[in-house]
Structure 1
Amino acid sequence: MNHRTMIAAGGIAWLVASRFGNRICFEAPDGRGGGGTKTAAELAAEVKATFDKALDETKTIAEKALTEAKENGKVASATKEKADEALLKMNAIGEQLAELEQKVARGQQGGKDDAQKSLGQQFVEDDKVKSFIGQTQPRGRVDFQMKATITSDTSDSAGAAGDLVSPTRLQGIVAPPDRRMTVRDLITPGRMDGNALEYVKETGFTNNAAPVAETAKKPQSDIKFDLVSTTAKVIAHYAKASRQILDDVSQLASYIDGRLRYGLAYKEEAQLLNGDGTGQNLLGIVPQASAFAAPITLDTPTSIDVLRLAMLQAALAELPATGHVLNPIDWAWIETLKDGEGRYIIGNPQGNIAPSLWGLPVVTTQAMTVDKYLTGAFRMGAQVFDRWLARVEIATENEDDFVKNLLTMLCEERLALAVYRPEAFIYGDFGRVT
């Protein structure tokens, strides 16, 4: 069993390392009488004196060992054992002296004790040790046992192992979910020059065509045209970042680029559907669409029936529908409709076919209001014109940004929307939400 000698108020103690943990054993003093708990400075002075005495004893034994080695060519076993014991004793006392001197220095500098007391502090403040020292003529032995509980604490205290814990860092950036943009894909694409977009639209046609007899005057039909003008609108936003972070995190620039482009597409989809045409807003399809008016009357029509009647209305306007736009909630409602025997009418829980109804694709987007629908001839009835394709530019043109090492990432696009035939689009509600 390994042990180290310690000097404390009133006697000598041994720090013993055993399989039960660190243990300090205190032996009765040599007749000087036990005193109360002494200050760190007093203990340090006593330990210093003991250390000096141990140092002198060690030097004496070392000189004796050198003499024996010169005279006999070797050191006697008894001398060697005494030398080892003296060195161990001196080292143990030296360690305790250093600890006490540090405590005295902290006290003089106004520092605070550590959150958890040191081994020496716990020893001299232990109730059993105090009681033993307080006896007039202490006899026997008192044991002091200290066990440090290993915790995740990161302070400089016994058992603190928090600094050993390394965090698990996953690569990349966890981004929020992106909405799938689909409305633009339904509309005919195009490009334009300049800021203004003009097109001539037929607004009226009186068809007087009829069979005509020989030499009779032919009937005249009337056709009315109207010039429609619109302008390209800019959708834009920007973000700022320091040059240092963009240089240090290579993926951050591309991540910001992607998020800015997504934000642009998000706003664009809402504008293509619902823009009110005021200020810098596009005039979207919904505000121009024809209101639903059932061409025929059905008894208690379902949501599926309503969409079929909207298709009929578009077909009667000579513009057959090419798709439906619904909110995801309404499409889920339709897919879960069941017949009288509990069988799905159109939904197939095991199927993976693209959403469709009455032979037309169904596009779901949260840009469409719940309980509303838009059915129409998207390819024939409307066209989107890009003046500027979506792009991201990085600059430090602003003087304030330049001197602060800031970069401005600007994302913008410029586009116009032409709705050629408002009657090509049928807009209405299912009537499930009041």
Structure 2
Amino acid sequence: MSAEILKALDNVETKLKAMSDKADGEMKTLGKVADDTKTAIDTIGIEQRELADRLLKLEQERKAAKDDLPKQEDGYGEQFVKDAAFEGFTKADAHGRVRIELKNTVTNAIGNTFSERRPGIVEGAFRLFTIEDLLTKIPTSAPAIDWVRENVFTNAAAETAEGLIKPQSSITFSPGTMPISTVAHWIKITRQLAKDNAALAAYINRRMVYGVNLRVENQLLVGNGVAPNINGLLNAGNFTAHGYTAASLTAAGLTNNRFDLIGAAMGDAALADYPADVVVLNTGDWWKLRLAKDSQGRYLLGDPGSAAVPQLFGSSVVASNAMPAGKVWVGSLSQAATLWIREGVVVEMSDSDENNFQLNLITIRAERRLALTVEKPAAARYGDLVPA
């Protein structure tokens, strides 16, 4: 009976942890814990206390019964000679052999053993997002973003003698529009799973949120801008090509390696009055640079034991799996683009989708709405990391 109570206590603790995780999630997303969540936690707490009381009572009863039994006075010797094995040995034949008839052989078959269960759920990969945090974020309530971008600025400012006509400068502009994109997906689970396995349901919700943000991370770089796609940083027109070839690097007195190319692109950005503060590389390309050594076998970028923030020529390095391999983006990301947040990640559940009500299913949908506008393509340089 105590084993059943212990198992019930384990189940209660699992449910309590799941509801606690749910409450934490509601605090992060809603700013408060829902009433039904509070009620569920209270109910589980009461159930836990009742089971603990029952277990304590059983232990007390068992201890009292054990105290009533007569104490064993036999020493090791007496226990040995009274043992059935010893009695069988004394009945052995003249050669000291014992004959034992086996009625059945018990093997380590399925059903006779019990496996250990790892608590929780073994998670899949979760990428560390790096691009979104670097962008300037502005909330919006509009369905689209309009902006006017400076096209050409002709600066005619000059010293002018008294009484003479001052020079006239000119500026041309070009308009831009970017609709808000919706990034979303959904999945179906059974109502029984949602009610009976809160930990698994919470994990599914977390995975759904991750899926939305993973797609956004990719779109911020490589979205093609064709509705409903996001207009990514690497889309044509959103950057200035660095323009280097192997020959032009050699002509400039540089070798055609990754370090020289990045440095040259950063120098060009600075000459255009957009000093670069970020270098975006594919994760694999970054680690090739990080592991580069000199002729003495020393790492070019410093001791591997150093926990310093990755940098090249004083600018932060951002490694992302969303970045195409063999490419590099260099620029002032805070000036080049703006991320407009229409809605944060929203997770909704419904049993009214298609025939969910008949099949006892629940549809979980996660989505967010946002737009990326690249106002200053001149603030970024992009192209091959090792040009031909």
TM (normalized to structure 1)?
A: 0.63
Greater relative CO (CA pairs within 8 A, separation 6+): 2
Of the candidates 240, 246, 257, which is equivalent to residue 194 of structure 2? Answer: 246
Alignment of 1:349 with 2:304, yes or no, is yes
Q: Distance in 2 between matches of 1:422 and 1:269?
A: 20
Task: Name which of 173, 176, 186 aligns with 1:228.
Answer: 176
State the partner residue of 2:150.
Answer: 202
User: Could you list the runs of 5+ residues in structure 2 that have no partner in the other structure?
Assistant: 1-83, 85-96
How far residue 150 of structure 1 moved from its aligned partner, in angstroms, is 3.2
Residue 422 (structure 1) aligns with: 377
Aligned residue among 75, 100, 111 for 1:163? 111
Is 2:224–2:230's contact at 8 Å kept on the other side of the alignment? yes
Q: Is the 8 A contact 2:181 2:227 kept in 1?
A: no
From 264, 275, 284, the equivalent of 1:320 is 275
2:240 alignment partner in structure 1: 290
The CA distance in 2 between the partners of 1:320 and 1:229, in whole Å, is 27
Contact in 1 for aligned 2:233/2:239 (Cα 8 Å): yes
Q: Secondary structure at the match of 2:211?
A: helix
**1:163 match: secondary structure:** coil
CA contact (8 A) 1:306 1:430 kept: yes
State the shift of 1:417 in Å: 0.6
AA aligned to 1:214 is E
Q: CA deviation at 1:20?
A: 3.5
Give 1:376's match in structure 2, choosing from 325, 331, 340.
331
Q: SS of the residue aligned with 1:164?
A: coil
Letter of the aligned partner of 2:216 in structure 1? E
Q: SS at the partner of 2:234?
A: helix
Return the letter of the residue paired with 1:386: I
Deviation at 1:273, TM superposition (A): 0.3
From 177, 189, 193, give the equivalent of 2:141: 193
Residue equivalent to 1:158: none
Alignment: residue pair count: 287
Paired with 2:316 and 2:254, the residues of 1 have a C-alpha distance of 26
Q: 2:128 aligns with which of 166, 173, 180?
A: 180
Q: Deviations over 1:114-173 (max 9, x none)?
A: xxxxxxxxxxxxxxxxxxxxxxxxxxxxxxxx57443233xxxxxxxx322011111111
- 2:188 and 2:354 map into 1 onto residues whose CA distance is 14
List per-residue Cα deviations over 1:370-396 (Å, max 9, x = no partner): 111111101111010011111101112
1:20 aligns with 2:99: yes
Distance 1:271 1:399 in 2: 30
Which amino acid in structure 2 is aligned with residue 20 of structure 1? R
Q: Deviations over 1:38-77 (max 9, x none)?
A: xxxxxxxxxxxxxxxxxxxxxxxxxxxxxxxxxxxxxxxx
Query: Match of 1:341, SS?
Result: coil
Q: In structure 2, what is the Cα distance between the partners aligned to 1:314 and 1:19?
A: 94
Shift, 1:243, TM fit:
0.9
Q: Deviations over 1:360-414 (max 9, x none)?
A: 1111111111111111101111010011111101112225112222111100011
Describe the SS at the equivalent of 1:251: helix
What's 2:59 paired with? Answer: none
Seen in structure 2, the aligned counterparts of structure 1 residues 403 and 147 have a Cα distance that, compared at 3 Å, is closer
| Residue 399 to residue 262, structure 1, CA distance change in 2 (3 Å) | closer
Of structures 1 and 2, the larger Rg is shown by 1
Contact 2:326 2:386 in 1 (8 A): yes
CA contact under 8 A between 1:235 and 1:264: conserved in structure 2? Answer: yes
Determine the structure 1 residue equivalent to 2:291: 336
- Counterparts of residues 76-225 of structure 1 (less than 5 Å): 148-153=104-109, 162-225=110-173
Output the CA distance in 2 between the equivalents of 1:399 and 1:187.
39
Q: Which residue of 1 aligns with 2:68?
A: none
- 1:301 is displaced (CA, Å) by 3.9
**Partner letter of residue 293 of structure 1?**
G
Q: How well do the aligned residues superpose, as a CA RMSD in angstroms?
A: 2.1
| CA–CA separation in structure 2 for the residues paired with 1:298 and 1:21 | 93
Counterpart-to-counterpart distance in 2, 1:282 and 1:399: 29
> Aligned residue for 1:385?
340
Distance (Å, rounded) in 2 between the aligned partners of 1:149 and 1:402: 52
Q: Distance in 2 between matches of 1:393 and 1:343?
A: 53
Match status 1:398 vs 2:370: no
Please list every run of 5 or more consecutive structure 1 residues that lacks an aligned counterpart in the other structure.
2-17, 23-145, 154-161
Structure 2 CA distance, aligned partners of 1:399 and 1:368? 38
Residue identity in the other structure for 2:263: R
Call closer, same or farther: CA 1:20–1:316 in 2, change over 3 Å: farther
Superposed counterparts of 1:46-85, under 5 Å: none
Q: Which residue of 2 aligns with 1:307?
A: 262
Taking a change above 3 Å as real, the CA distance of residues 299 and 360 of structure 1, as seen in their structure-2 partners, is closer
Residues 399, 277 of structure 1: alpha-carbon distance in 2 compared, 3 angstrom cutoff: closer
Q: Structure 2 CA distance, aligned partners of 1:321 and 1:371?
A: 19
In structure 1, C-alpha distance between the alignment counterparts of 2:253 and 2:194, rounded to whole Å: 62
SS at the partner of 1:269? helix
Q: Deviations over 1:71-104 (max 9, x none)?
A: xxxxxxxxxxxxxxxxxxxxxxxxxxxxxxxxxx
Rounded Cα–Cα distance in structure 2 between residues aligned with 1:282 and 1:398: 28
Q: 1:423 to 1:239 in 2, by over 3 A?
A: same
Q: Is the 8 A contact 2:153 2:171 kept in 1?
A: yes
